Structure 1
Amino acid sequence: MQNTRLNSLFDGSVSELRQSLRNPWRRISVLVISFLLGNFVGTSITTIAGQNANLDVMVAAVLIVSTELYSYFFYRIHNKTKRSLLAQGINSFKIGMIYNLFVLAFTLGS
């Protein structure tokens, strides 16, 4: 790829972002934000699927299959000592979503 001004600007900003995310407090804040975003998405999915009562089983099946596949890849295949921030963020998102689904199930008494 050619070394254009836009390309060098993009590379510089990505390297600055990587450098700033090496700070442990910033990594933890990114993981907490992804957990809370997963919590919000869990609420959104249940309310949207609950409006159209036809898709409840299908949405639940898709959520279970996707979370189990990601858990398999995250806990079995990846190196346990060195996980990327993206993989940890997706895992935190998944945990927040599952947590919210359990809380809503206990709230509804089902």
Structure 2
Amino acid sequence: MGITTGAQGLTVHRRGLWGSASGNPAPLWFRCTVRRKSRRVPSTTTPLPYQNTRFQTRIAEAGARLSEWSLNPWRKLSLLVLTFLLSFLIGVGLGSISGALDLMDLVAAVLCVLVLELSVRARGVLRRAEGDRLPLHLLDMARMGLLYGLLLEGFKLL
């Protein structure tokens, strides 16, 4: 099935979900080919890459500067301790605020489980990544601090 348009005589053919006339299996999405005077040019199936914005560039530069800054072991240790204490503070605050309101217990529990599960999934990706291990260590310290803060608040209620 083809549609001829324009002065160049472009014809767009569609192949279905289960293959083409040549017997090659097509993917599960429709692939369009453009024919121009008996020459076939397959269209691209991958999206074009987006142009980096200034914000994305600045975030990448800040991450690179942080990695360079943390090459010193004392700086890295201080960064890890600050991450642990900040996430501990968030865990204690979340537990005490949701306990005081007595309405948000279920929402806070679901939120905490969701954050911890997503961090476990992100940890697998960071373990396989090449290069600096700083993001992995920061994520681990944040997980430990949040969990420790929540457990401490739970034991206060006993």
Asked whether the two chains share a fold, i.e. TM above 0.5, the reply is: yes
Q: TM class, shorter-chain normalised?
A: 0.7 to 0.9
User: How far 1:60 sits from its partner (Å)?
Assistant: 0.6
**How big is each residue's C-alpha offset from its partner over 1:51-108, in whole Å with a ceiling of 9 and x where there is no partner?**
221110111111111111211220x233277554234223211210101111221222
Among 100, 104, 110, which residue is 1:55 paired with?
104
**103, 123, 140: which one aligns with 1:91:** 140
Structure 2 portions without partners, runs of 5+: 1-60
Aligned residues: 99
Normalised by the size of structure 2, how large is the TM-score? Answer: 0.53
> Which letter does structure 2 place at the counterpart of 1:102?
L
Q: Which has the higher helix share?
A: 1
**Equivalent of residue 44 in structure 1, options 68, 71, 93:** 93
Q: What are structure 1's unaligned runs of at least 5 residues?
A: 1-10
Q: Which has the higher contact order (CA 8 A, sep 6+)?
A: 1
TM-score, normalised by the number of residues in structure 1? 0.72
Counterpart-to-counterpart distance in 1, 2:102 and 2:145: 24
- Alignment correspondent of 2:125: 77
**Aligned counterparts of 2:63 and 2:125: Cα–Cα separation in 1:** 27
Amino acid at match of 2:125: I
Q: Which has the higher strand share?
A: 2
| In 2, Cα distance between equivalents of 1:103 and 1:66 | 18
Partner of 2:74: 25
Larger Rg: 2
Instruction: Please give the alpha-carbon distance, in whole angstroms, between the structure 2 residues aligned to 1:105 and 1:37.
Output: 18
Tell me: CA distance 1:14–1:96, structure 2 relative to 1, closer, same or farther (3 Å).
closer
1:23 and 1:105, CA in 2 relative to 1: closer, same or farther beyond 3 A?
same
Distance 1:49 1:83, change over 3 A: farther
Q: Contact 2:92–2:152 (CA<8 Å) still a contact in 1?
A: no
